[in-house]
Amino acid sequence: MILVIVGTTPKPFDRLIRAMDRIGEELNEQVEIQTGASNFKVKNAMTKDFYTIEELEAKIAQARIIVSHAGVGTIIDARRHRKPIVVLPRRKDLGEMWDNHQLDTIRELRGVKGVFVAEDETRLRDRIMEAMRFKWENDSIPTEKEMLVKYVKQIIDGIE
C-alpha cells in the first residue's frame, strides 16, 4: 500500500492529491490518501481527512512506501519504520504554505538514504518507482532526536 500524507496544515495540498489520484490509477498498488483540508474528490484511492496518531502509526507500519509533503515529522516517522518516503514540498507561491521552509527541507534531504525528493509533481511518479525498488540495508537509522538535532543544526549553520 502507498500511504499519502499531506500533514495538518490548514491549507489544501491539491497538487499532491490530484497527482496521486492519477498515479494511483496507473499503479497496481492500493493507495490511501490523507486529504487534510482539500475538497478535491479523489476517484482512484481510499481517503480520510485526518488520522489520529495511533491510526497514522498503524498506516505507516502497513505501508510499502510513503508519499508526503516535506514535513520533518512525517519524514522521521517513515525512517523510524524503515519505509522509503517520497517528498513533494508545499510551496508558498501556490498557496500551499505560508512560507517556503519545505523547499529548504528538501535541499537538506538530497542524498539521504530512503528519502526520494520530487521537486514538483511531474517527477512524482519516477520518484515513487525508485522508492518501490529501494531496499533498506542492515545499517542503522538515526534516532528521531539525532535526525532533528542534525536538521536544526543545518538550518542554523545556513543562517550564519
Q: Is 40 left (phi over 0), alpha (psi -120 to 50) or beta?
A: beta
- Per-chain mean pLDDT for the chain: 90
pLDDT at 138: 67
CATH number for the domain including 128? 3.40.50.2000
114-134 pLDDT, tens per residue?
999 999 999 999 999 999 999
Q: Beta-carbon neighbour count of residue 28 at 10 Å?
A: 4
pLDDT band, very low/low/confident/very high, at 46 (cuts 50, 70, 90): very high
Q: Is 54 left (phi over 0), alpha (psi -120 to 50) or beta?
A: alpha
Contacts of 38 (CB under 8 A, 6+ apart): 6, 12, 13, 14, 17
Q: Both ends of the chain: CA-CA distance in Å?
A: 42
Which residues does residue 116 pair with via DSSP β-bridges, in sequence order? Answer: 86
Q: Is 99 left (phi over 0), alpha (psi -120 to 50) or beta?
A: beta
Sign of the dihedral through C-alpha 79, 8, 148, 143: negative
Domain hosting residue 81, numbered range:
2-159
Count how many domains the chain has: 1
Q: What is the mean pLDDT of residues 72-81?
A: 92
Q: What is the mean pLDDT of residues 85-93?
A: 96
Global pTM value: 0.85
Q: Which of 158, 62, 65 is nearest to 115 (CA)?
A: 65
**What's the rounded Cα separation, in Å, for the pair 30 and 146?**
33
Report whether 84 contacts 131 (CB < 8 A). yes
pLDDT at 14 over 90: yes
